[in-house]
Amino acid sequence: MNNYAEKIEKINKISQNTLIETLNIVFTECDENTLKATMPVNSVVHQPFGYLHGGASIALAETLGSYLSFLHVDTEQYNVFGLEVAANHLRAKKSGLLTGTATLRHKGRTTHLVQIDIVDEENKLVCAVKMTNIVVKKEK
């Protein structure tokens, strides 16, 4: 599947009825080494004091990082799992729209390193995340 529009359509479809849909994450763009998605900041992703919950930012980042690796493996033969996530929460948000961009920094046979930057509508960095994924052969 080399057509990027088809890839976006596929991952949006398989994300239905999951946490991804609950958080209103929508995939918007991809190319060879990047994947983008948006997530609204509203009460669904707030912590009790009305600000964006850090866990929601990490859920957006992990979703992007995992799917980016998913797009780079033969999913008939391999699974991709998050191995490590390190996040820096840099800006508080009460409302708006976040855009996450995952960039593949290293694509090895068994590990992928992904950088995910989450920005607000003014392109200000809200969260910077580094994610390591492991590629595991499926059991038969």
Strand order from edge to edge, sheet including 78-89: 26-30, 34-41, 96-107, 111-119, 125-137, 78-89
The single residue of 21, 29, 32, 62 carrying the catalytic annotation is 62
For residue 36, the Cα-to-chain-centroid distance in whole angstroms is: 8
Q: Is 122 designated active site? A: no
CA distance 56 to 44: 9
Task: Tell me if 76 sits within 8 A of 125, measured CB to CB.
Answer: no
Catalytic residues: 62
